[in-house]
Amino acid sequence: MRVTQSAALPWRRLSDGGIAMLLVTSRRTRRWIIPKGHIERGMTAAASAAKEALEEAGVTGRIGGKVGTFDYDKLLTSGAARRLRVSVFPLEVVEELDEWEEQALRERAWFAPEEAAAATAEPELQAIIRRFAAQLVV
């Protein structure tokens, strides 16, 4: 299976030295996910992930190198499912906008890393979140 999507894992450092992760809800099922989408033609996977973070979560920042991949089943409008592979790139959030493109379609919320992992449905994504958070804690 080839990588067909890229995703941003938005995070920020807290004043107490801890970190928080930003999740958004999916448009249809309202599950907690990270901003993701198909890699846009002419863009790198990382740049496409940063664009998704801006559109879906209203955040901008510094995109990092790939921290993992996960697979998930995307529900199609026909009711069928398609298996997709997603490359995940951390995005250190620099700016959180008050208004953004998909704000009427999604909720966004900051979570402690373990809460973020537990809120997502994909075990591989949960592992990526936990592993990345452990690297940031010094």
Token duo for residue 97: 């906008």
Q: Can 40 be counted among the known catalytic residues?
A: no
Q: Do residues 11 and 20 make contact, with C-beta atoms less than 8 angstroms apart?
A: yes
Per annotation, catalytic residue among 40, 52, 55, 115: 55
Distance CA 48, CA 59 (A): 13
Q: Do residues 58 and 10 make contact, with C-beta atoms less than 8 angstroms apart?
A: no
Q: Do residues 47 and 63 make contact, with C-beta atoms less than 8 angstroms apart?
A: yes
Q: Do residues 129 and 9 make contact, with C-beta atoms less than 8 angstroms apart?
A: yes
The residues annotated as belonging to the active site are 55
